[in-house]
């Protein structure tokens, strides 16, 4: 057994914890733990036992373990400073594998049977950490030293210095395995949200609950009661625990009160919205199957009461960071609630009366208190212990755990006091954090030497109890009840202050004392980030004096506790250096979350394939049966192609589909295109505003292609409008823009032309729509459409539309429109029959060797036909760029026409849509290639445009592309280079018409 190992167990006990299983050497009697229920757990592989009700920290302390972590920078040995979520030192990796959870505060990790915890940020072991060598070089590693060095040679930062720094930095490890647990979200509504169930919160909950208000009482801890659980005094004639039990029973019986333990309110957002995290299953080995680990609640509150208590603050002195040195209130919590003492002999260092309670409670539990060191010359006496008034702790000893403290007595002499633990109290800081999440800036209260809530609190919030600087139990109860009455009164709910028990009402007696000036060594302010008093002095010396500069330069307050235990000390030191009062120096901003929140919790159920909902087409089930390959198109899953047996490459499938459509007929599910129903006497006039081209004179039974511009003259969507009746159009949009077009139409209807009598509604999903394309399209459809409908070219010409029936009487809509350039129709039936229709169409098409086709074939055919699509309508192209300048009507007021006339959008060399064909037909054309003149340099300045879309055309037997080319309208026949330096390719292409197939449109009019 080495000496170091001996140190990390309190009071020099040299027993090996693993060997002495079950030996809870520092367990006291009583407390709120269930000693009948023993829990086995391991820490760094060693087996220990604790009790139900323990935290990992309390159980380790019970087992005599004080050393629980290492600091960030110097790798100093550290034990728990606190007994709560503000813990900066005792951070562990909890669990393993995909559930490994770094930086878990041992002080709030509820013990469960089989808990597996490991220390972190150390190598090879917690006791012997190689990186603690940093501590030896701390004089070189002062605040901001890295800004001043590692600059030469220039390349060395990334190659040498940074990797070393990076490797050394960070705290716990993430497994990088997928998190196997589920998370959930929820929404709650209440009249009154009470944040914290200490005495103030409980009194408020009782007051509001009794009058029937909808109350949510959220408590971070797994026990209600707050500090009452940690103190020895009672309420009235009963113990704190007994009073809490009474209150809990009463609240549980009130259906209008929702008590939420293990729930931390972490953020205060606008208009009374709060976020809260409920830890549903962190206190068990693993969540039940299907049950969440944690829930993120979004709480909509009418009023909120912040009763989040206060956090004790340390005093900085030389070597004030050794395991065993902890906050006095935390030590009291360990003693009273968990029946654990961190060591068998303890000393106390305080600047206020509250510290004396720790001594008294320790003594009451039979722990030896060797000294109470009080900075106040007039400190009150404590029963049964030696008091050193006007004294200071100036240094400590103990490599892996405290063994003694050195005092400077009022008389000036020094004295060493042996102890395994030191309780430190520098006073308490109200937990004002949530009051600052919006605009609140706390104000200084001299009597308690602390910031209290002030300024603009989040609207609807008020603060009660210790969070407001009212530290006594009686004050907490009183302000809690009164706060509830006031909050409810705002809401018109009458309530009266509940009868409250007698409670401790001690005044705060405190003399502000922040750090011990004596000593040349280091006195820690931020224990996790290793920021010392010296670092603050250096920041001051280098003019990093504003609080934000101080924070950023030294990293003070940037640790996982976000400065809860460190900010005040740093501020106080800086205030002294600049010769100002603390409130003049200011505070740094508290930002959400109040305590760190797992990303899984914030994401909830929106993970993996459920990240966003999937939209499926009416033919999805059928397509699956065909073995289709699917692709995400926005939220939709569409068929990409339908592979057939023997096809080993997607191109084989796609080429086959295209050729067969052009030869005979194919069918494609086009339901995803947006369908907006536009009705009303002014529908045509409305569409005239919406579309760049004119719609007023479109005849009933006809369809027209339309281009929509943004008000800035850029094209954003295209589609068709079919006039089903004088006052009824069906507008189609691209799949991607259905929502946007609808929104814009509503804007035009409600905000721009509010008196137009027009009604719009989306019917995208109501109709299953299929394109039937190819020379045999009519023949095929005639087999499906009921015989009384004439589909001949004369009766149903290109761009015709009408209502028909199919398959013996089912209502359907038929549109003769073509994206492929072939004779084509689109037929729509109510969605529930879409599956039936595709089966019927395929069966009817057997004699024509009909093929189903997907988005790839669709894409190939539209490129062959020169139709602009998403790659061309990319938000930067105008009608002019797309070759549709003439469509923009100058005779009517349509959105975008005025702005599209701006000079910069109408230059002679404006980009124009062209077709591009490789000079060497075997060369591939790649979308995203840039166009350069045939001769000359390849450079950004020489750029002539770019290829927007490309595909292999099985009809032409070569790759083809569409591109946007400067002055493209006048460059047909020119040879250009399509350069793609990204992939090291360059292809000679010829500028051709964008209509590669059937430029005269004979096929689609057939």
Tokens at 979, concatenated: 């350069």
Considering only residues 190 to 219 of the shown chain, the ones binding other proteins according to CB under 8 A are 214
Residues whose CB falls within 8 Å of the CB of residue 759, separated by 6 or more in sequence, listed in order: 678, 679, 680
Q: Is 670 left (phi over 0), alpha (psi -120 to 50) or beta?
A: alpha
One residue of 18, 384, 981, 1001 binding other proteins per CB under 8 A: 981
Taking CB under 8 A as the binding criterion, the range among 381-389, 390-398, 495-503, 946-954 that sits at the site for other proteins is 946-954
Interaction of residue 552 with other proteins, rule CB under 8 A: yes
In contact, 228 and 182? CB cutoff 8 Å: no
Chosen residue from 87, 135, 181, 526 binding other proteins by CB under 8 A: 181
In whole angstroms, how close is the CB of 354 to other proteins at the nearest point? 29
Site for other proteins in 655-684 (CB under 8 A): 671, 677, 679-682
Is the distance from CB of 855 to CB of 791 less than 8 angstroms? no
* Pair 330, 422: CB distance under 8 Å: no
d(CA 950, CA 913): 13
Q: Under a CB-based contact definition with an 8 Å cutoff, are residues 969 and 875 in contact?
A: no
Candidate residues 263, 980, 989, 997; the one interacting with other proteins per rule CB under 8 A: 980
User: Residue 140, interface with other proteins (CB under 8 A)?
Assistant: yes
C-alpha Rg value of the chain to the nearest Å: 38
Interface segment toward other proteins; rule CB under 8 A; list 33-41, 391-399, 488-496, 903-911? 903-911
270 forms part of the interface with other proteins (CB under 8 A): yes
Among residues 262, 303, 478, 620, which is the contact residue for other proteins, using CB under 8 A? Answer: 620
- The DSSP 8-state label assigned to residue 499 in this structure reads P
Does 292 contact other proteins by CB under 8 A? yes
Residue 868 C-beta: closest distance to other proteins, Å: 13
842 forms part of the interface with other proteins (CB under 8 A): no
Residue 868-887 contact track with other proteins, rule CB under 8 A, x = bound: --xx--xxx-----------
Closest CB to other proteins among 241 and 295? 295
Q: Which stretch binds other proteins (CB under 8 A): 9-17, 77-85, 509-517, 901-909?
A: 901-909
- Binding other proteins (rule: CB under 8 A), the pick from 37, 397, 517, 605 is 605
Residue carrying the six token digits 């008389």: 411
Distances (CA, A) of 135 to 130, 141, 526, 559, 804: 10, 9, 15, 18, 85
Which residue in 182, 251, 308, 369 binds other proteins (CB under 8 A)?
Answer: 182
- Residue 1 C-beta: closest distance to other proteins, Å: 30
Site for other proteins in 677-736 (CB under 8 A): 677, 679-682, 685, 710-714, 716, 727-728
Which range, of 45-53, 175-183, 566-574, 987-995, touches other proteins by CB under 8 A?
Answer: 175-183
Residue closer to other proteins, measured from CB, 46 or 549: 549
From candidates 429, 831, 944, 959, binder to other proteins by CB under 8 A: 831
Single out the residue of 263, 336, 392, 555 in contact with other proteins (rule: CB under 8 A): 555
With CB under 8 A as the contact rule, which of the stretches 498-506, 692-700, 773-781, 932-940 interacts with other proteins? 932-940
Three-state SS sequence of 278-299: EECCCCCCCCCCCCEEEEEEEE
**Cβ-contact 887, 692 below 8 angstroms:** yes
Q: Is 651 in the site for other proteins (CB under 8 A)?
A: no
Cβ density class 494-505: b for 16+ within 10 Å, e for less: ebebbebbebbe
Considering only 124, 787, 808, 957, the residue that binds other proteins (CB under 8 A) is 808
Buried b (16+ CB within 10 A) or exposed e, 177-190: eebebbbbbeebeb
What whole-number distance in Å separates Cα of residue 858 and Cα of residue 673? Answer: 13
For residues 751-770, which are near other proteins according to CB under 8 A? 751-757, 759, 761-768
DSSP run (H or E) holding 548: helix 547-554
CB of 333 to other proteins, least distance (A): 23
Query: Which is nearer to other proteins, 417 or 978 (by Cβ)?
Result: 978
Q: Which stretch binds other proteins (CB under 8 A): 124-132, 216-224, 265-273, 465-473?
A: 265-273
Residue of 378, 903, 908, 1000 interacting with other proteins (CB under 8 A):
903
Structure tokens at 147: 């800004």
Which 450-509 positions form the footprint of other proteins (CB under 8 A)? 456, 459
| CA of residue 426 relative to chain centroid, distance | 36
Examine residue 1002 and tell whether it contacts other proteins (CB under 8 A): no
Query: What secondary structure does DSSP assign to 52-121, as a single string?
Result: ET-BHHHHHHHTTB---EE-SSS--EE----SSTT-SS-EEEES-GGG-EEEEETTT-B--TTEEEEE-S
Distances (CA, A) of 1003 to 8, 85, 183, 571: 88, 74, 56, 81
d(CA 623, CA 857): 15
Read off the DSSP letter of residue 666: E
CB 304 within 8 A of CB 461: yes
**Closer residue to other proteins in complex, CB, 38/901:** 901
What minimum distance in Å lies between the beta carbon of 25 and other proteins? 32
Among 52, 127, 518, 542, binds other proteins (CB under 8 A): 542
Spatial CB neighbours of 376, under 8 Å, sequence gap ≥ 6: 351, 352, 389, 390, 511
CB of 52 or CB of 786, closer to other proteins: 786
Nearer to other proteins, 152 or 499 (CB): 152
Distance of CA 354 to CAs 203, 328, 361, 505, Å?
23, 8, 11, 12
Out of 113, 455, 502, 747, the residue judged to bind other proteins by CB under 8 A:
747
Q: Based on CB atoms, which residue is closest to other proteins, 763 or 933?
A: 763
Segment 306 to 365, residues that bind other proteins, using CB under 8 A: none
Does position 632 bind other proteins by CB under 8 A? yes
Told to check if 519 binds other proteins by CB under 8 A, we report: no
Alpha carbons 268 and 606: distance in angstroms, whole number: 23
């Amino acid at each position: 057994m080495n000496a170091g190992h001996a140190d990390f167990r309190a009071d020099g006990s040299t027993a090996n914890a693993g060997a002495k299983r079950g030996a809870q050497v520092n367990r006291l009697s009583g407390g709120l733990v269930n000693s009948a229920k023993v829990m086995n757990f391991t820490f760094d592989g060693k087996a220990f036992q604790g009790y139900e009700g323990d935290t990992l920290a309390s159980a380790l302390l019970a087992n005599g373990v004080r050393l629980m972590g290492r600091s960030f920078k110097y790798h100093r040995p550290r034990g728990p400073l606190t007994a709560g979520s503000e813990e900066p030192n005792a951070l562990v990796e909890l669990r393993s594998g995909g559930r490994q959870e770094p930086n878990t505060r041992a002080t709030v990790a509820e013990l469960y049977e089989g808990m597996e915890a490991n220390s972190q940020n150390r190598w090879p072991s917690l006791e012997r950490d190689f990186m603690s060598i940093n501590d030896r070089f701390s004089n070189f590693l002062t605040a901001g030293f890295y800004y001043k060095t590692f600059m030469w040679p220039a390349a060395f930062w990334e190659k040498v210095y940074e990797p070393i720094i990076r490797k050394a930095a960070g705290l716990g490890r993430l497994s990088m395995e997928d998190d196997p647990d589920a998370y959930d979200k929820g929404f709650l509504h209440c009249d009154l949200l009470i944040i914290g169930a200490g005495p103030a919160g409980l009194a408020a909950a009782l007051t509001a609950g009794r009058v029937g208000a909808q109350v949510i009482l959220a408590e971070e801890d797994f026990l209600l009661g707050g500090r009452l659980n940690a103190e020895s005094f009672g309420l009235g004639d009963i113990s704190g625990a007994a009073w809490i039990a009474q209150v809990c029973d009463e609240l549980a019986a009130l259906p209008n009160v929702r008590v939420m333990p293990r729930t931390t309110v972490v953020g205060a957002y606008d208009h009374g919205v709060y976020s809260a995290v409920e830890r549903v299953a962190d206190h068990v080995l693993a969540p039940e199957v299907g049950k969440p680990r944690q829930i993120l609640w979004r709480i909509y509150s009418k009023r909120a009461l912040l009763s989040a208590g206060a956090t004790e603050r340390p005093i900085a002195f030389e070597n004030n960071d050794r395991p065993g040195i902890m906050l006095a209130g935390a030590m009291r919590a360990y003693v009273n609630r968990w029946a654990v003492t961190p060591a068998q002999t303890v000393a106390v260092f305080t600047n206020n009366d509250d510290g004396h309670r720790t001594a008294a409670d320790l003594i009451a539990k039979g722990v030896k208190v060797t000294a109470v060191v009080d900075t106040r010359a007039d400190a009150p006496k404590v029963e049964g212990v030696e008091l050193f008034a006007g004294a200071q702790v100036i240094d400590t000893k103990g490599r892996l755990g405290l063994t003694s403290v050195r005092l400077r007595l009022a008389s000036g002499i020094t004295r060493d006091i042996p102890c395994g633990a030191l309780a430190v109290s520098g006073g308490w800081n109200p937990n004002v954090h949530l009051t600052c999440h919006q605009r609140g800036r706390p104000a200084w209260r001299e009597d308690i030497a602390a910031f209290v809530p002030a300024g603009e609190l989040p609207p609807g919030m008020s603060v009660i109890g210790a969070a407001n600087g009212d530290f006594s139990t009686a004050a907490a109860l009183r302000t809690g009840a009164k706060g509830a009455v006031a909050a409810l009164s705002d809401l018109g709910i009458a309530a009266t202050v509940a009868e409250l028990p007698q409670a401790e009402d001690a005044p705060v007696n405190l003399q502000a004392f922040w750090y011990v000036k004596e000593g040349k060594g280091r006195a820690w302010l931020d224990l996790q980030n290793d920021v010392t008093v010296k670092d603050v002095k250096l920041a001051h010396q280098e003019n990093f004096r504003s609080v934000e500069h101080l924070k950023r330069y030294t990293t003070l307050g940037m640790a996982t506790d976000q400065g809860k235990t460190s900010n005040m000390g740093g501020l106080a030191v800086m205030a002294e250096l600049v010769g100002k009062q603390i409130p003049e120096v200011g505070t740094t901003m508290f930002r959400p979350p109040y305590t760190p929140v797992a990303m899984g919790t914030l994401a909830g159920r929106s993970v993996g394939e459920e990240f966003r909902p999937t939209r499926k087409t009416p033919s999805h089930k059928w397509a699956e049966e065909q073995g289709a390959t699917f692709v995400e198109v926005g939220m939709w899953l569409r068929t990409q192609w339908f592979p057939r047996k023997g096809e080993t490459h997607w191109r084989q499938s796609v080429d086959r589909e295209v050729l067969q459509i052009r030869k005979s007929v194919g069918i494609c599910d086009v339901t995803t295109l947006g369908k907006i129903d536009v009705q009303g006497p002014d529908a045509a006039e409305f569409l005239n505003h919406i579309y760049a081209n004119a719609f007023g004179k479109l005849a009933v039974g006809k369809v027209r292609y339309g281009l929509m511009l943004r008000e800035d003259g850029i094209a954003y969507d295209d589609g068709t409008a079919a006039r089903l009746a004088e006052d009824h159009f069906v507008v189609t949009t691209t799949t991607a823009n259905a929502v946007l077009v609808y929104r814009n139409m509503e804007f035009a209807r409600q905000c721009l032309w509010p008196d137009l009598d027009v009604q719009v509604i989306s019917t995208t999903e109501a109709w299953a729509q299929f394109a039937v394309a190819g020379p045999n399209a009519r023949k095929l459809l005639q087999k499906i459409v009921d015989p009384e409908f004439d589909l001949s070219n004369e009766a149903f010409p290109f761009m015709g539309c009408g209502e028909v029936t199919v398959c013996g009487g089912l209502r359907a809509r038929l549109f003769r429109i073509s994206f492929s350039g072939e004779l084509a129709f689109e037929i729509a039936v109510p969605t529930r029959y879409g599956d039936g229709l595709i089966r019927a169409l395929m069966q009817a098409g057997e004699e024509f060797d009909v093929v189903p086709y997907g988005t790839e074939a669709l894409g190939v055919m539209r490129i062959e036909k020169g139709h602009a699509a998403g790659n061309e309508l990319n938000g930067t192209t105008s009608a002019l760029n797309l070759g549709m300048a003439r469509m923009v009507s100058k005779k009517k007021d349509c959105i975008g026409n005025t702005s599209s006339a701006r000079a910069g959008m109408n230059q002679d060399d404006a980009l124009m849509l062209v077709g591009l064909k490789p000079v060497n037909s075997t060369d591939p054309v790649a979308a995203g290639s840039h166009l350069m003149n045939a001769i000359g340099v390849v450079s950004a300045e020489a750029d002539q445009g770019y290829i927007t879309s490309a595909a292999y055309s099985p009809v032409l037997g070569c790759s083809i592309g569409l591109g946007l080319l400067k002055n493209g309208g006048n460059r047909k026949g020119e040879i250009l280079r399509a350069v793609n330096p990204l992939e090291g390719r360059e292809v000679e292409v010829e500028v051709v018409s964008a209509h590669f197939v059937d430029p005269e449109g004979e096929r689609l009019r057939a």
